[in-house]
Amino acid sequence: GAVAGGLMMLAGTQAFAVTIGFSQVGDEGDWRPAFSKDMQEEAKKEGIDLKFADAQGKQEEQLRAVRAFIAQQVDAIVIAPVVVTGWDQVLKEAKRAHIPVFLADRDVDVTDKSLYVTRISADFNLEGRLAGAWLAQASKGNCKIVELQGTTGSAPAIERHKGFETIIKEFPGMEIVKSQSGDFTTEGGKKVMEAFIKSTDNLKGICASFAHNDNMQLGAIQAMKEAGLNPGKDLLMVSVDYVPAMKKALAAGEANASVELRSAIGKYIYPVVLNYLKDKKPLPKWVVIPSDLHTAATPGS
- Binding residues (CB under 6 A) for ligand AHR: these are 28-29, 31-32, 105-106, 156, 184, 213, 240-241, 261
CB of 54 or CB of 93, closer to ligand AHR: 54
**Smallest distance, ligand AHR to C-beta of residue 267, A:** 18
**Smallest distance, ligand AHR to C-beta of residue 208, A:** 18
**Smallest distance, ligand AHR to C-beta of residue 213, A:** 4
CB of 203 or CB of 240, closer to ligand AHR: 240
**Smallest distance, ligand AHR to C-beta of residue 125, A:** 13
Determine the residue with CB nearest ligand AHR.
213
CB of 46 or CB of 214, closer to ligand AHR: 214
CB of 6 or CB of 189, closer to ligand AHR: 189
CB of 138 or CB of 289, closer to ligand AHR: 289
**Smallest distance, ligand AHR to C-beta of residue 259, A:** 9
Full 3-state SS string of the chain? CCCCCCCEEEECCEEEECEEEEEECCCCCCHHHHHHHHHHHHHHHHCCEEEEEECCCCHHHHHHHHHHHHHCCCCEEEECCCCCCCCHHHHHHHHHCCCCEEEECCCCCCCCHHHCCEEEEECHHHHHHHHHHHHHHHCCCEEEEEEEECCCCCHHHHHHHHHHHHHHCCCCEEEEEEEEECCCCHHHHHHHHHHHHHHCCCCCCCCEEEECCHHHHHHHHHHHHHCCCCECCCEEEEEEECCHHHHHHHHCCCCCEEEECCCCCHHHHHHHHHHHHHHCCCCCCEEEECCEEECCCCCCC
